[in-house]
Structures are given as structure tokens and as C-alpha cells.
A = this chain, B = another copy of it.
Amino acid sequence: MRLGAAAWGTKEDVATTPSTDQRFGLARHVVLPGPLLLDGGASFGPVEVAYETYGTPAPDASNAILICHALTGDQHVASTHPITGKPGWWTRMVGAGKPVDPARHFIVCANVLGSCLGSSGPASRAEDGQPYAMRFPVITIRDMVRAQALLLDHLGIRQLAAVVGGSMGGMQVLEWAATFPERVRAAVVIASAARHSAQNIAFHEVGRQAIMADPRWKAGDYYGAEPPAAGLAVARMAAHITYLSEAGLTEKFGRRLQSRDAKSFGFDADFQVESYLRHQGISFVDRFDANSYLYITRAMDYFDLAEEHGGRLANAFRGTRTRFCLVSFDSDWLYPTTESRSIVHALNAAGAPVSFVELSSPFGHDAFLLDVPELNRVVDGFIRAGEA
């Protein structure tokens, strides 16, 4: 399957009225007038936001929890993905009996600005009716959060009981707490960082170069034609290695061969790990837009919360009344524990209430999406403490 612009949620493809199929949450799509004043200086609008909700808002919407998704995530946090047909990406955290529970919470998850599942992004149509492609403005994590704030205004949610996210989702959580402190009672930041390191930037740059080196990329103007699937697949493969730990890869694959008894002495995927990576690359291109990958990785690389606040991270949280919970994983080498610890130090310096735990997991960065019961206990306890 090779998809052009039509697959990535231009206005025509996304219902503008709520779905009533509860298996799918309440899929919604709004066009907000904006305009958003972006960090890059541009004024952007109207702003399309695709989102899902689960549960019922309290009369004052005080039970609202915002879930922020990661680089290649989407609004389908706890409902079936419309393209892959797979379950929501965080059903271990969000759902009946989970830390974020539609029985108690009104849960909102929005596709981030720049993405490709219905919110405004490079695949969206500009005023001239053509996809923005690379005319889409370069955005930041703060711009994503500003768009989410517009959505909450639209939904009548003045203050969030909690904002919860892992990886790039955690960056948005930090940005929420820093930009709209009065709207966030509690912030849960998992496997994340307050800035992208040189190594983080380097891996993203490899991915972007892989996409841009694909002749089908055509400076971004590939909508309606074949997309740069090969380049995007390579980008995904490179990134995927960073989501796993060396020990996890060894445990999962080691040097085991794939469906054969001996090496082929050729260039097929002899090793299971090769086959796995190729699959990760190939399956990704059917659900994600290459230009969105460029824009969102750029936003992550630009992210440096301290820089936005005079070079001192503690300044980002000065006077905050938000409660913070930070979780890192000992085998995460993408956003290692040292990154979480430096956030905790800044929160301490700002006098903010913060709980922090490094969990042990063999799964590397991906642990935040996997079955780690201790993670659920930590988040559940933290959220319930705010409801007491």
C-alpha cells in the first residue's frame, strides 16, 4: 500500500461530526480560527485539530486529563487506529481499570500540530487547495501545546487534572506546565527530556537525510504521487534502534537466524533482527507522512526548555503550583535517567512538588509503551493523590 495525501487526514477524510462508535472513542475534528502565533514568527490559521475523547466530563470539566503522544503517535490512544486496525497505542495506561480511566476521567488526546492523522500538517491543504508540503511552517513543541490549548478552550476545559505523556509526549507535558501553569494541576513526564542532546539531534538528522535523499521526496511535493517510502523506512529503522536497548535486542533476537538453518551468504535478511527492522520500516510508511516526520523531528530537535527561559531550566517552573511526576527507565539510552534527573533538580530549585523514580526495565526507551506494572502503579498513585 502506498498512500498519497488523501490518506493523511485532509479535511475530506475526517468526520467533522463525532463518531458514536464507542469502540473508537469519540473521534472528532475541529477547525479552530486561531490564529496561532508560532515560535518561528508566522501566524498560522485556521488550525485543524483531530482528537479523541473517552469518558464524560464533570460539570466543571475538572476531571479532564490530556494525553500527549510521541513522535509517530496519534490521537488514538485507546481506540483502534483507522489505518492499521491495531488497538490504541497506550491501552496499558488508558482504559477501564487503568491509571487514566474513562470511568473517572474525561480523557482528551489530540493529534499534534504537524502530524498527519487529521490535525494541520504538511499534508493538509492550504488556502490554495494544494497540500502545504514544505510550505507548512516549522513548528515547535510549544506550538503543538498552543494548538492543544486552543482545543481545550473549544472544549470548555479551563484546567486539566493532569497532562500525561512519554517521550515527545513528555516534552509537551513539560511545555504545558511551563507555558500554561495555571491550567495544569498535575504533570506526568515519562522517559523524556527537557532538551534534545547532540546525539538525539544526530539520529534525527540521519532520518531526515534519508527521506530527503529519496528522489520521490521531490522537495516535499510528492502528494498525489508515490511518497518517499524507501527513505522514510530507513529513517524509521534508524530511529527504532534507539527505542530499544542493546540488552533488549540481544535478548529478543541475539544472532538468531530468520527462517533458515545457516547463513545465506547473500544480502537477504539472514538475522531475525534484520527482518524485524525491515518490517518496522515497511509497515511504518503506510501510516505516516514523510513530511510530517521531517517537521516533528525538527520540533523535537529545537526543543530546549531552558533556552526558552533565559537559559535556566528552573525558570520555566518558577512559582508553579503544578505537581510533577517523573519516570525514567534504566535501559533508556535515548532519554536516559540523567535527563529526568536534571528536570527534577530544576523543579526542586523552583520549589515545585515532584516525585521521581527510575524504573528497571530491559526494554529501553520503548518501555513506556510496554507492560511495566510498576509504571502503572506509580502513575496511578500519583493521579489518585490529586483526586483525594
Contacts and interface: CB of A to CB of B under 8 A. Distances in A.
Most buried by B among A206, A238, A252: A206
A102 B103 CA distance: 78
A28 B238 CA distance: 39
Interface stretch (A15-23, A259-267, A366-374): A259-267
A199 B302 contact: no
Interface stretch (A2-10, A43-51, A227-235): A227-235
A70 interface: no
A201 B273 CA distance: 7
Interface in A192-211: 195-199, 201-203, 205-206, 208-210
A286 interface: no
B209 A233 contact: yes
A87 interface: no
A40 to B, nearest CB: 4
A198 B254 contact: yes
A31 interface: no
B233 A138 contact: no
Interface of A: 39-41, 134, 137-138, 195-199, 201-203, 205-206, 208-210, 212-215, 230-231, 233-234, 237-238, 241, 244, 246, 249-250, 252-255, 263, 265-267, 269, 271, 273-274, 277-278, 281, 294, 298, 301-302, 304, 307, 333
Nearest to A215: B215
A300 to B, nearest CB: 12
A102 B267 CA distance: 40
Contacts of A253: 198
Given A201-B273, A241-B202, A265-B40, A281 B209 contact: yes
Contact of A265 (B41, B195, B230, B281): B41
How many copies altogether?
2
A265 B271 CA distance: 40
Contact of A213 (B230, B255, B266): B230
B195 A255 contact: yes
Contact of A198 (B267, B271, B278): B271
Nearest to A209: B234
27 contacts: A39-B265, A138-B266, A138-B267, A197-B246, A198-B252, A198-B255, A199-B244, A201-B255, A201-B271, A202-B249, A202-B273, A202-B274, A202-B277, A206-B238, A206-B277, A209-B234, A209-B278, A213-B214, A213-B234, A234-B234, A238-B238, A246-B333, A255-B307, A267-B294, A267-B298, A271-B301, A333-B333
Nearest to A302: B263
Contacts of A277: 202, 205-206, 209
A196 B255 contact: yes
A273 B213 CA distance: 19
Nearest to A197: B250
Considering residues A196, A212, A263, which has the most beta carbons from chain B within 10 angstroms of its beta carbon? A263
Given A265-B40, A265-B138, A273-B205, A255 B304 contact: yes
Contacts of A206: 234, 237-238, 241, 277
A113 to B, nearest CB: 14
Contacts of A238: 206, 238
A249 B197 contact: yes
Contacts of A266: 138
